[in-house]
Amino acid sequence: MNANKNPAARLPLEGRMLRSLLFAPANQAELVLKFPRAAADCSVLDLEDGTPPSQKDTARKNISDLVRQVRALGLTGLLGIRINAPDSAFFADDLAEVVNCGADAILIPKIQKPDDVLTVAAAVEAKGLHTALFAGIETAAGVLRAPQICECSTLLQAVFFGAEDLAADVGGRRTPEGNEVLMARSMVLLAAKAAGILAVDQAVVDIRNDALFTRDCETGRDLGYDGKTCLTPRQAALANQLFSPTTDEVAYAQRLVDAYEDARARGLGTFDFEGKMIDTPLLKRAQRILSSV
């Protein structure tokens, strides 16, 4: 099922974090051209939900030029483009245009099955490119097939979980606590981690509620998500902060690793460290924190 065995296909995200995935409508150039100031880890021109049907064709035709303009303004993060869903009337035209425009990543929304990813992977490979693919898992079918989707291509480097679309798909009611999507949120996260790819958490559509966004980021990070879908530059700034290790976390991790090295030199596999029994899983967590700074 794996579409590409070339490890170079993973280069666009090698050594990078994906704490913030910031979207702006592709038909609103004035918002897109503000991407460099937002400093998101990945900024996304949105041809899907952010662009109304009446403007999709024009936005698509202008997208290559908009990519060049954003880069000329000094964008330092990754630049992605979200195309329309594989079952939409716009998908084929989007893919034909976007595969040639020099984006770092192509985001594919509402993935239902591995073939939805493999179609895009084949178009990228036909051009000899290593563009990263991000898969949106936002439907009941997508959640149930998440393990197969996450493992289907080495061009696939990240998934993003869409709680709003999932709730609409299953007829659920969204709540600030998010318990109604917790199972699906966890299933997508586990599928991504098992496949060794990054996972970006759900959006918070209440864009002026920093407290809610912060709480949702903390929950996502506790689950194991790498970053957050962001709808405003303010959310991107918060996500960059909240998905980065704190000074205290880094200091604790360094002390733990140092103590582990000392314990290993004394022939100990587990040891008492600051009141906790430390073994390999806690060591790995500390090492992961240190590798991210």
Token output for 202? 């759900």
DSSP letter at 84? -
To the question of whether residue 177 is assigned a binding role by annotation, the answer is no
To the question of whether residue 208 is assigned a binding role by annotation, the answer is no
Q: What does the alpha-carbon distance between residue 54 and residue 52 come to, in Å, rounded to a whole number?
A: 6
How would you write the pLDDT of the chain (293 residues) with one tens digit per residue? 444 444 344 445 766 889 999 999 999 999 999 999 999 999 999 999 999 999 999 999 999 999 999 999 999 999 999 999 999 999 999 999 999 999 999 999 999 999 999 999 999 999 999 899 999 999 999 999 999 999 999 999 999 999 999 999 999 999 999 999 999 999 999 999 999 999 999 999 999 999 999 999 999 999 999 999 999 999 999 999 999 887 788 888 788 888 888 887 887 777 788 877 777 777 777 777 777 77
To the question of whether residue 19 is assigned a binding role by annotation, the answer is no
**Given the structure tokens 């592709």, which residue do they identify?**
26
Q: What does the alpha-carbon distance between residue 209 and residue 230 come to, in Å, rounded to a whole number?
A: 13
Top-tier CATH class for 7-242 = alpha beta
Give the distance, in angstroms, between the CA of residue 48 and the centroid of all CA atoms in the same chain: 17
- Nearest by Cα to 81 from 58, 55, 50: 50
Structure-derived torsion over alpha carbons of residues 116, 43, 192, 91, reported in degrees to the nearest 10: -10
Range(s) for CATH 3.20.20.60 in the chain?
A: 7-242
